[in-house]
A and B are shown apart, each in its own frame.
Chain A
């Protein structure tokens, strides 16, 4: 591991040394259930992902796919960005300065037009109505790019957005929810002192050792691994407290929820957490679209651009993929309440870092933004692109009961131009 701050337990280091040194996987009780993935995780430094979730669905025409001079344009003016040919909204001036890091996909053509189904679909790349419990992108990345021996959870979510959870991957990959100030969930404050906790833990280990002398089944390992992880998390939980550093970063990120969330996300991926989701609320502007979007963008712009700049400066952007998206786009048509409604025929998602090419615009909508003109991208294509960039095979197969299921649906293809 190249990050000095990585919360990797001593055991994992020893195991890692054994794997890379001799090519053998050492048997040990905690590792057996995960021996294969542990070996993979320690063997090389996996890529990470931050999902910036625009809850409610941001308007593509008012952000990255502007239509100046057209009836659907709305009142915002475009400004030039660092990339020739890419204009962005006047309220994203700092994003314009980092546009060379962005891949703007202007041709999202998706299938789920409302919130619950869209949120599910854009977190799992499968339809909600299909009834198979598909895992969210965070759970998938936690499984394939997380280290089972790490002290910290591998799927962290700030605020509440995704609605699929770990699905068929199981509780080990469920999101660990914290709020945007970094406050931890219930039951993370022990009632015992450190010394007493350690004594109690040792007594527990002795009982488990005795039991496991003649009971070897896997669930007992899994039970014990879970317990040890809970203890290690509490030792490492200082990572979630960023109050000191925040004082210095606040001016750049903006003293807002999304500002603090982006800063927190940066700290967490630095600490080795492979997936962090942070949401920004209030994009569902069926009325007063322009008031909402102006306010939201003014908070988003410093937060998102500082995140990318900081990741780039510390050399982590190449290993950290930042996704900007929501569940739907918004209609080109402006309704009689100065709002824009849900829209799935031609909308925009922005990727950066993690091996995604920067300064690229992929696909296009027509002159008024009503349909996709070039290179439509589906949910499955987008997820296949992200998974491929992160080193995960998009056609990785699992079983749900007797039925084979894949990480992305049949026919989904990574967008090669972005990789």
Chain B
């Protein structure tokens, strides 16, 4: 998270491609081994937890996972900063008695806190990882992919797409004393961020940032967007009604690499469910109703529909098709419902692009 480095391989064996060894993994784990999660009161859904730290406890390291056998014990291993030195530690006092806080009380800070030392190191200038990892992460949040991608995989085999840019942003970030607002402002004011999603490239997350990335909305964003654009009235007693259905139908629509993959369930739900239909069916005051009660010519009303859902006027061909779709019905109710449905189902609505 803070260091942008993947160490999990080194849990069981030395990293196959990178420099990390199991000692790096367990050395870093040494900073966390004394942490405990405490229940500090409350009940039911309102319970609070705190992270406390004990004054003793060591990571035991017993070698490669494939050589493990029941009963085999490891050697204690000293905490070590990633890619750096071992933590200088005062000798542990003999016979430490761990405090046993009563119910609901927080653990007192130990005489020597490894957690505090790690936190100091993470944001210190000696740590080469933090600033570039933070910059890359924030960049990826806005642009869909990192300059180093995936964002937590800085390593020599995985070089940045734009090394000069990464360096400039990292230096600037340090110079501005890790000011996130400065960083966000730099990114969103850039030409790169403001590019349109149109273009011939087929990649969802273009490596050279030559156009905006394509991001599928999450299930939650889809429900909220549908509600907002159709003027769906939220029942204050049940603000989250229907969310379950959306979460189930949309799930997490990616393959293992984070690329979008549309599922059958999503479309069966969009096409046939009453949950989605409730957004488009005429109901007093909603978008369908407003379009139907207006006395403007249909051209104007279709334009309004487009502005409400897609935030742009229709193209000439779309305008013609929608107007004739609605006009050929003797009663327009169902046709307007369909038309709003089509816009809610379009790629343009489904993705942020």
Please tell me which one of the listed residues B263, B270, B274, B350 contacts residue A171 in the complex, with CB atoms under 8 A apart.
B263
With A and B bound together, what is the CA distance between A405 and B256 in angstroms? 10
B341 A200 Cβ-Cβ under 8 A = yes
Interface of A is mostly: helix
Closest to B318 in A: A210
B330-342: CB near A (< 8 Å → 1, else 0) gives 0000100011011
- Assess whether A211 is in contact with B347, with CB atoms less than 8 Å apart: yes
User: Does B237 reach chain A (CB closer than 8 Å)?
Assistant: no
Binary flags per residue of B294-332, CB closer than 8 Å to A gives 1, else 0: 000000000000000000000101100110010000000
> Does A82 interact with chain B (Cβ within 8 Å)?
no
Contact at A217–B214, with CB atoms within 8 Å? yes
Chain B residues touching A, range: 35 or more
Name the residue of chain B whose CB is nearest to the CB of A168. Answer: B256
Bound-state CA distance A214–B199 (Å) is 6
Is A174 interfacial (CB-CB < 8 Å)?
Answer: yes
Q: Residue-by-residue, is B258-281 near A (CB-CB < 8 Å gives 1, otherwise 0)?
A: 011111111111111110010000
Interface string of A383-411 (1 = CB under 8 A from B): 00000000000000011111101000000
A3 interface residue, CB < 8 Å from B? no
Residues A170 and B256 in contact, CB atoms below 8 Å apart: yes
Tell me which of B202, B262, B277, B322 contacts A217 (CB under 8 A). B202
Q: Is the CB of B263 within 8 A of A172?
A: yes
Contacts of A192 in B (CB 8 A): 338
Q: Which residues of B contact A227 (CB under 8 A)?
A: 262, 267, 270-271, 345
What residues of chain A lie closer than 8 Å to B266, measured between beta carbons?
Answer: 171, 226
- Which of B129-137, B175-183, B247-255 touches A? B247-255
- Known interface pairs A170-B261, A218-B203, A401-B150. Does A223 touch B272 (Cβ–Cβ under 8 Å)? no
A141 vs B6: C-alpha distance in the bound complex, in angstroms?
32
Taking a contact as CB atoms under 8 Å apart, the answer to whether A187 and B273 are in contact is yes
Give the contact stretch, choosing among A10-18, A45-53, A229-237, A279-287. Answer: A229-237
Could you tell me if A223 and B200 are in contact, using CB atoms closer than 8 angstroms? no
Judge whether B201 is part of the interface by a CB distance below 8 angstroms: yes
Partner pick for B347 among A176, A190, A208, A405, CB 8 A cutoff = A208
Contact at A224–B256, with CB atoms within 8 Å? no
A200-B341, A402-B6 given as contacts; is B348 within 8 A of A230 (CB)? no
Which of these, A171, A212, A399, contacts B257 with CB under 8 Å? A399
Assess the B325–A219 pair: CB atoms within 8 A: no
Q: Does B216 contact A (CB under 8 A)?
A: yes
Q: Given A215-B198, A224-B347, check contact A203 B271 (CB 8 Å).
A: no
Q: Please, which residues of chain B bring their CB within 8 A of the CB of A231? A: 271
Beta-carbon contact of A225 and B262 below 8 Å: yes
Q: Residues of A contacting B277 with CB < 8 Å?
A: 191
- Residue of A186, A207, A219, A398 touching B204 (CB-CB under 8 A): A219
In angstroms, Cα B150 to Cα A405, docked, is: 17
Q: Note all chain A residues with C-beta closer than 8 A to B282.
A: none
The CB with the most chain A CB atoms within 10 A, among B158, B262, B342, is that of B262
User: Contacts A199-B325, A208-B347: A171 and B253 contacting too (C-beta < 8 A)?
Assistant: yes
Residues of A within 8 A of B153 (CB): 402
Kindly list chain B residues whose C-beta atoms are within 8 Å of the C-beta of A218.
202-204, 259-260
A2 at the interface (CB under 8 A from B): no
Assess whether A219 is in contact with B315, with CB atoms less than 8 Å apart. Answer: no
Contacts of B216 in A (CB 8 A): 219
Bound CA span A226–B269, Å: 12
How far apart are the CA atoms of A403 and B266 in the complex, in Å?
A: 28
How far is the CB of B349 from the nearest CB of chain A, in Å? 10
Which of B249, B318, B342, B350 has a CB less than 8 Å from the CB of A200?
Answer: B342
Q: Check A215–B353 contact: CB distance below 8 A.
A: yes
Please state if A207 and B264 are interface contacts (CB–CB under 8 Å). no
Q: Are B272 and A189 in contact (CB under 8 A)?
A: yes
- Structural contact, B338 and A196, CB atoms closer than 8 A: yes
Q: Is the CB of A187 within 8 A of B343?
A: no
Q: Does A153 contact B (CB under 8 A)?
A: yes
**Closest beta carbon of chain B to A350's beta carbon, Å:** 32
Given A171-B261, A218-B203, A229-B264, A211 contacting B346 (CB threshold 8 A) = yes
Q: In the bound complex, do residue A217 and residue B197 qualify as a contact, i.e. CB atoms below 8 Å apart?
A: yes
Q: Decide yes or no whether A222 CB sits under 8 A from chain B.
A: yes
Q: How far is the CA of A32 from the CA of B202 in the complex (A)?
A: 10
- Whether B49 sits at the interface, judged by CB under 8 Å, is no
Q: Kindly state the separation between the CA atoms of A158 and B252 in the bound complex, as whole angstroms.
A: 23
The digit string for B191-215, where 1 denotes a CB below 8 A from any CB of A, is 0000001111111100000000010
Asked if residues A401 and B257 are in contact (CB atoms below 8 Å), the reply is: yes
Chain A CB within 10 A, most for which of B197, B251, B255, B353: B255
Cβ–Cβ < 8 Å partners of A171 in chain B? 251-253, 261-266
What is the bound-complex CA distance between A200 and B342, given in angstroms?
7
Task: Give the shortest distance, in Å, between B247 (CB) and chain A (any CB).
Answer: 13
Q: Which residues of A contact B317 (CB under 8 A)?
A: 206, 210
Q: Tell whether A256 is near chain B: CB-to-CB under 8 Å.
A: no
Least CB distance from A384 to B in Å reads 21
Q: A110-138: which have CB < 8 Å to B?
A: 133
16 A-B interface contacts by CB (under 8 A): A171-B251, A172-B264, A174-B251, A187-B272, A200-B342, A203-B339, A207-B318, A207-B346, A215-B347, A217-B204, A219-B204, A226-B263, A230-B270, A231-B271, A398-B256, A399-B256
The 5 closest A-B pairs by CB, nearest first: A226-B262, A168-B256, A171-B263, A170-B255, A230-B267
Apart from A192-B338, A405-B256, what 7 extra A-B contacts exist at CB < 8 Å? A169-B256, A206-B318, A216-B202, A219-B351, A230-B264, A230-B268, A399-B257
Seen from chain A, the residues whose Cβ lies within 8 Å of a Cβ on chain B are 32, 133, 153, 167-172, 174, 176, 185-192, 196, 199-200, 203-204, 206-208, 210-212, 214-220, 222-227, 229-231, 233, 398-403, 405
